[in-house]
Amino acid sequence: MSTPPHIESIRLRQVNLPPKVVRTDAIQSFVTQETLLLTLRCSDGIEGTGYAYTIGTGGSSVLALLKDHLAPRLLGRNPLHLEAIWKDLFYSTHATAVGAITSLALACVDTALWDWRARKLNLPLWQLLGGAQARVPVYTTEGGWLHLSADELVDQTLAAKAEGFRGAKIKVGRPHVSEDVARLSAVRAAVGSGFEIMTDANQGFNRPEVVRRAAAFEGLDLAWLEEPLPAEDVAGHRQLREHTPIPIAVGESMYHLSQFREYLEQGACSIVQPDVARIGGITPWVKVAHLAEGFNVPVCPHFLMELHVSLCAGVPNAAWVEYIPQLDDITTSRIRVEGGYAYPPDTPGLGLEWDWPVIGKRQIADVKIDH
Ligand code: MG
């Protein structure tokens, strides 16, 4: 048997990317995408690059956790031992986990290991994960923001429909329920039936208000109501489901598999939306998807379309990819979107071609770790 491969060196970079459009929702605005890149080089000469992101705070903390604690533990490890590495890193940071910073750091490591693995096996990620579907329906969130007027929403949703998208997301959470209803009704009247309208409250409501809003939204044929309540209020979500036929979607603010288990066990959601960066990488993301399949619940991941398209194509219960270009500035690869479907890349690895010269110019951190 040949010598097992081991991780020889690690390189960490941070690039800050401005969002392409102004993004506001019920609780926050998207200032800058702090993008953390981790490249590991193994003894077989193959490199794997993974990444995670924040929307404006915490990027330097993720980088510090990786540099000071996680990356040194990777040196010498066999990159095939993904599960062992994930568990070891998780427990090594136990006093700061479960938490966003730790999960984002774990995601950098885990996605890099999957990139290495898929390159090593010369397979595209979606086939390595199971090859469940060659294309995935796509909806757009590159619009629909809370500050936009009803007329602006109508114009951009009609444009999205004309481009071939099968659905669009509209933020809800204007001060009065009547404003939300007016905006959504205008869009529904314009696009007609058959085009999906997703809504997203970004955790902005309390229990009584969300029951009222959901009742007012009935008849608009919404595909789902996303994050209607604070993510930690599992019982509130379960109660809401008893009051409304609108599917309830949660997951972008969850950082561990056990949080999804809690929602699914309690029947507190209809759709799960794990974010591969916030859940800690591909290893836990796939577990969430399979767990949801066991509950006959679809997975519609949050953001990160460049990676989620491959994850969705890899599992049988993925229903939608969310269209928000995130990496155009620092990659040369582009996702193929045609006729309302997104197609996973067929190149080996994660399918991302990083533009290293551009990254070199724009990076605000570059750290190398080896023996
Ligand atoms: Mg959301």
State in Å: Cα 301 to ligand 1 middle.
Answer: 10
pLDDT tens digits for range 275-324: 999 999 999 999 999 999 999 999 999 999 999 999 999 999 999 999 99
Ligand 1 centre from 26 Cα, in Å? Answer: 10
The rounded Å distance from CA 370 to ligand 1 centre is 38
**Lowest mean pLDDT segment, chosen from 79-93, 140-154, 173-187:** 140-154
Cα(80) to centroid(ligand 1), Å: 33
Burial class from Cβ neighbours inside 10 Å (0-12, 13-18, 19+) for residue 258 reads: exposed
277 Cα to the center of ligand 1, angstroms: 14
What spatial distance separates the first Cα and last Cα of the chain, rounded to whole Å?
A: 26
Q: How far is the CA of 146 from the centre of ligand 1 (A)?
A: 12
Task: Tell me the CA–centroid distance for residue 367 and ligand 1, in Å.
Answer: 32
As given in the structure block, the two tokens for residue 166 are 């099968």
Give CA separation, 221 vs 134, 152, 168, 212, 226, in Å. Answer: 28, 21, 13, 16, 14
Beta carbons within 10 angstroms of residue 194's beta carbon: 8
Closest listed residue to residue 352, CA positions, set 39, 30, 10: 39
Q: What is the spatial distance between Cα 238 and Cα 267, in angstroms, rounded to a whole number?
A: 6
Q: For 18-27, 53-62, 63-72, 219-228, which range has the lowest pLDDT when averaged over its residues?
A: 18-27
Give residue 152's pLDDT band: very low, low, confident or very high (50, 70, 90).
very high
DSSP letter assigned to residue 347: S
Distance 141 CA to ligand 1 centre (A): 9
Report CA(140)–ligand 1 centroid distance (Å): 12
* Alpha carbon of 226 to ligand 1 centroid (Å): 6
Return the residue matching tokens 């956790």.
Answer: 65
The tokens of 261 are what?
A: 């288990």
Give pLDDT, residue 1: 55
The answer to whether 112 and 77 are in contact (CB under 8 A) is no
Question: Given this model, what pLDDT does residue 142 score?
Answer: 82
The rounded Å distance from CA 369 to ligand 1 centre is: 35
Q: How far is the CA of 202 from the centre of ligand 1 (A)?
A: 6
Ligand 1 geometric centre to CA of 227 (Å): 6
Give me ligand 1 centre to Cα 195, in Å.
Answer: 19
Ligand 1 mean position to 310 CA, how many Å?
20
Give me the helices (H) in 138-247, please: 150-163, 177-191, 207-217, 234-243
How far apart are the CA of 354 and the centre of ligand 1, in A? Answer: 26
Cα-based angle 340, 302, 176 (whole degrees, multiple of 5): 95
Work out the number of other CB atoms within 10 angstroms of the CB of residue 326. 19
Cα dist from 326 to 93, 145, 323, whole Å: 29, 16, 9
Give all domains of the chain, ordered by start, each with its CATH number.
7-122+356-370 (3.30.390.10), 126-343 (3.20.20.120)
Look-up: residue for tokens 């009222």?
Answer: 212
CA 144 – ligand 1 centroid, Å: 11
Cα–Cα dist 121/143, whole Å: 38
Task: Give the distance (Å) from ligand 1 centre to CA of residue 113.
Answer: 27
pLDDT tier, 29 (very low <50, low <70, confident <90, very high otherwise): confident
Is residue 107 a contact partner of residue 279, using CB atoms and an 8 Å limit?
yes
Distance 205 CA to ligand 1 centre (A): 13
Cα 343 to averaged position of ligand 1 atoms, centre (Å): 22
- Alpha carbon of 326 to ligand 1 centroid (Å): 15
Distance 15 CA to ligand 1 centre (A): 23
Report the largest interatomic distance among the alpha carbons of the chain, rounded to a whole angstrom: 69
Q: What is the pTM of this model?
A: 0.96
Q: Which residues, 6 or more positions from 278, have their beta carbon under 8 angstroms from its beta carbon? A: 100, 103, 104, 107, 252, 253, 254, 255, 302
Q: Give me the percent of the chain exceeding a pLDDT of 90.
A: 91
Residue range 176-185: average pLDDT?
Answer: 98
The pLDDT mean for the chain works out to: 96
| Residue 92: per-residue pLDDT | 95
Going from the Cα of 353 to the center of ligand 1, the distance in angstroms, rounded, reads 27
Separation of 302 CA from ligand 1 center, angstroms?
7
